[in-house]
Structure 1
Amino acid sequence: MDFFTLLAALFLITLTFFLFFKSESKRRGGANLPPGPYPLPIVGNIFQLGKKPHQSLAQLAKIHGPLMSLHFGSVYTVIVTSPEMAKEIFVKNDQAFLNRTVVEAVHAHDHDKISMAFMDVGTEWRTLRRICKEQMFSTQSLETSQGLRQEKLQQLHDFVQRCCDSGRVVDIREASFVTTLNLMSATLFSIQATEFDSNATEEFREIMEGVASIVGDPNFADYFPILKRFDPQGVKRKAELYFGKMLVLVEDLLQKRQEERRRSPSYAKKDDLLERLVDVLNEKNEYKLTTKHITHLLLDLFVGGSETTTTSVEWIMSELLINPEKLAKLKEELKTVVGEKKQVQESDIPQLPYFEAVLKEVFRLHPPGPLLLPRKAECDVQVGSYTIPKETQILVNAWAIGRDPAIWPNPEAFEPERFLSQKMDYKGQDFELIPFGSGRRICPGLSFANRMLPMTVATLIHNFDWKLEVEANAEDVHKGEMFGIAVRRAVPLRAYPIQP
């Protein structure tokens, strides 16, 4: 952007803000808005976000309360930081907060109009949601594809065993990424996306992390709409690139499957989601979806499932390795229920209460999406004793709720035992623990994550002991975060597998 263009943009921002505050003052005159820090002219409260918004917003909420007003440029936002207020949003007023505000990056390739995660709730959204529920995440579908997942987990075990035999360190994030990618690609497409120690892994990682990071990165064009046409940070251009690469991969797989079915009279159907989606397209049935709907749905599932699962596996292993007494308790439970040398099966997981408690505790401390995906008020809504005006952006700080000392004794400590004496779950009904959201727009892949995540961790810890490459403590782990669509460790977790 040249100097004169920048001056023009700044002038327009100033004018826009003047008109914005003038109209807001008229529109909201007398409204009892939630309290919050005073916004600066033009920029509002942007500089109070910092590099770790989930933490900064948690600190501000301690001063201003569980329902807090902020201005991010021209975007008026309310931050929710208590279970009571979250329940008001997700249950009592769910209808008014069904739709989302959408960042500029998601407009790449019109993804915002076609993506189940971001589109407005309507006929198309309900159809896509129904397909996920009936075709991919039903109990029958997940049971049928169990053998595929077991095969990929065996590959993870064999890789760790080779590293153990050769005294080689394992990058836990890398191992989890390859495994998750292959689990997803096997379930969706009946293919193996990559191999351990393969150059192809780097290409996939670049695309996947590119999509995930570009959606989560701060972008001035989201806060100042006048900047959208200039794209000053190049976010939209990068998003077009990364989304484009992912869509090309998915479209190619879809076209090959369709061509294979057309050419072969004796074609044997594969037991994966892609096969069922091709059936949907061919039969022209009540779903009424296009090829574009299918490719964008697969992009959502592939990227969303891979990023959150990879990140969660790394956090679980991090907490277990810096808390060896908890790891020992978990290993003993696995040994007792599964047997010392047997491979863990999905049917074993419900018989492992301490393992379930470990998962809940990690979701409390490290929710995959700390601020969840944003919601938007469709009309003026009364929440608690405050008015939330139409078009307000809503962010629910699940990270802050999970560390609230009023809810959780000793909240910074990793204590899975706290969940052994209570029935609280993370499936959207207990608002003290909502890492996957709640209400009608809860994460559609939750049932899939419930199978993939514990099985990946169990494969890593059941037959191996671990020694950190660099010793760390809990304080180091919790400080070393990178904010994005999911919060990752700033430094990859690396450890040596050791034969017990």
Structure 2
Amino acid sequence: MTSLGTEFREVVGEITVLLGKPNLSDFFPILARFDLQGIQRGMRVLFLKFDRIFEAIIEERLKLMENEKGKESKDFLQILLRLREEEDAKTPFTAKHLKALLMDMVVGGTDTTSNTVEWAIAELMNNREAMRKAQEELEVVVGLDSKLEESHLPKLHYLQAVMKEVLRLHPALPLLVPHCPSSACDIGGYWSRKALESLLMFGQYIEILQYGTIHWNSIRKGF
């Protein structure tokens, strides 16, 4: 399982690089069929690797469940495997569905988490006062010689505010569905034409209360 974990992390790293690589086909769709940069070929290779890794993990988990037959499911994958065994004709849940769900959860969760942490560090480095307050809170609640425990989290109010502000300024994913305005309108200083599809990032243009400040303008920033 250790070798699988190592290989999985490597594949996630490779797919993250490919996902962030500028693609000429996005700007010139006519070039998509030629795959000039080899992005589609690279993705197909990585997806095959993912498929093999998931197959090995599922096979190992099935053997574990066979040895522990009758016991309650312990984790998310075991629950999904039991659901697959109980599938009916109306709601099929095949191995293909299972692997697709695992890929969405693991790959999506890996990249978004690391990006958010990077943004948090960058924002704190640019705001020494906020960094000092966060450090002081950690020293008081957790202590210098103690490990962070889950029981500490509800007491770290300032750190939670910092993370929420980071997510507001740098959303990990679009949380509002694309829509077309019925008429031309102004969105945060940007003029949008009628019927122009737009994709809003939650927090960038929606007016929400900003932590540590008294104004409501979400375009401004600060902790």
> Structure 1 residues 318 and 225 mapped into 2: Cα distance closer, same or farther (>3 Å)?
closer
Q: 1:275 aligns with which of 78, 81, 88?
A: 78
Cα separation, 1, equivalents of 2:65 and 2:115: 37
Cα separation, 2, equivalents of 1:293 and 1:358: 37
Q: 1:332 aligns with which of 127, 130, 136?
A: 136
TM-fit CA distance, 1:282: 0.8
Residue 148 of structure 2 aligns with an amino acid whose one-letter code is V
Cα separation, 1, equivalents of 2:155 and 2:71: 37
TM-fit CA distance, 1:241: 1.2
Q: 1:387 aligns with which of 184, 191, 194?
A: 194
Aligned-pair identity (%):
32
1:53-96 Cα distance to aligned partner (Å, 9 max, x none): xxxxxxxxxxxxxxxxxxxxxxxxxxxxxxxxxxxxxxxxxxxx
TM-fit CA distance, 1:356: 1.7
- The alignment yields a C-alpha RMSD, in angstroms, of 3.8
Residue 253 of structure 1 aligns with an amino acid whose one-letter code is I
The alignment's TM-score, normalised by the length of structure 1, stands at 0.36
Residue 276 of structure 1 aligns with an amino acid whose one-letter code is I
Cα separation, 2, equivalents of 1:193 and 1:395: 40
> Structure 1 residues 249 and 432 mapped into 2: Cα distance closer, same or farther (>3 Å)?
farther
1:89 counterpart residue number: none
2:106 counterpart residue number: 302
Cα separation, 2, equivalents of 1:220 and 1:307: 22
**In structure 1, the residue corresponding to 2:135 is in which secondary structure?**
helix
Query: Structure 1, unaligned stretches of length 5 or more?
Result: 1-190, 409-414, 425-430, 434-500
Cα separation, 2, equivalents of 1:358 and 1:296: 33
Judge conservation of contact 1:280–1:287 (CA < 8 Å) in 2: no
Judge conservation of contact 2:25–2:31 (CA < 8 Å) in 1: yes
If asked which structure has higher relative contact order (CA below 8 Å, sep 6+), I would say: 1
> Structure 1 residues 319 and 219 mapped into 2: Cα distance closer, same or farther (>3 Å)?
closer
TM-fit CA distance, 1:294: 0.8
Residue 42 of structure 2 aligns with an amino acid whose one-letter code is K
Judge conservation of contact 2:4–2:53 (CA < 8 Å) in 1: no
> Structure 1 residues 337 and 384 mapped into 2: Cα distance closer, same or farther (>3 Å)?
farther
Judge conservation of contact 1:207–1:242 (CA < 8 Å) in 2: yes
Cα separation, 2, equivalents of 1:373 and 1:216: 19
TM-fit CA distance, 1:225: 4.1
> Structure 1 residues 250 and 373 mapped into 2: Cα distance closer, same or farther (>3 Å)?
farther
> Structure 1 residues 388 and 194 mapped into 2: Cα distance closer, same or farther (>3 Å)?
same
**In structure 2, the residue corresponding to 1:387 is in which secondary structure?**
coil
TM-fit CA distance, 1:376: 5.2
TM-fit CA distance, 1:325: 3.2
TM-fit CA distance, 1:375: 5.2
Cα separation, 1, equivalents of 2:175 and 2:15: 15
- What number of residue pairs does the alignment pair up? 210
TM-fit CA distance, 1:373: 7.8
> Structure 1 residues 384 and 350 mapped into 2: Cα distance closer, same or farther (>3 Å)?
farther
Residue 274 of structure 1 aligns with an amino acid whose one-letter code is L
Judge conservation of contact 2:16–2:111 (CA < 8 Å) in 1: yes
Judge conservation of contact 2:165–2:211 (CA < 8 Å) in 1: yes
Residue 417 of structure 1 aligns with an amino acid whose one-letter code is G
Cα separation, 1, equivalents of 2:68 and 2:39: 46
TM-fit CA distance, 1:270: 5.2
Judge conservation of contact 2:203–2:218 (CA < 8 Å) in 1: no
TM-fit CA distance, 1:288: 2.5
Cα separation, 1, equivalents of 2:68 and 2:111: 38
TM-fit CA distance, 1:360: 2.3
TM-fit CA distance, 1:253: 0.7
Structure with more of its chain in strand, by fraction = 1
1:352-372 Cα distance to aligned partner (Å, 9 max, x none): 221122112322443334xx3
Instruction: Spell out the pairing of 1:200-219 with structure 2 (5 A cutoff).
Output: 200=6, 203-219=7-23
Instruction: Spell out the pairing of 1:183-332 with structure 2 (5 A cutoff).
Output: 200=6, 203-262=7-66, 264=67, 266=69, 268=71, 271-284=74-87, 287-332=91-136
Cα separation, 2, equivalents of 1:356 and 1:261: 38
Cα separation, 2, equivalents of 1:416 and 1:226: 46
Instruction: Spell out the pairing of 1:47-446 with structure 2 (5 A cutoff).
Output: 200=6, 203-262=7-66, 264=67, 266=69, 268=71, 271-284=74-87, 287-369=91-173, 372=174, 382=182, 387-388=194-195, 392=197, 394-396=198-200, 401=205, 417-418=212-213, 432=218
Judge conservation of contact 2:11–2:50 (CA < 8 Å) in 1: yes
TM-fit CA distance, 1:283: 1.3
1:296-317 Cα distance to aligned partner (Å, 9 max, x none): 1111111111111112223323
Cα separation, 2, equivalents of 1:220 and 1:229: 11
> Structure 1 residues 374 and 352 mapped into 2: Cα distance closer, same or farther (>3 Å)?
closer
**In structure 2, the residue corresponding to 1:396 is in which secondary structure?**
coil
Query: Structure 2, unaligned stretches of length 5 or more?
Result: 186-192
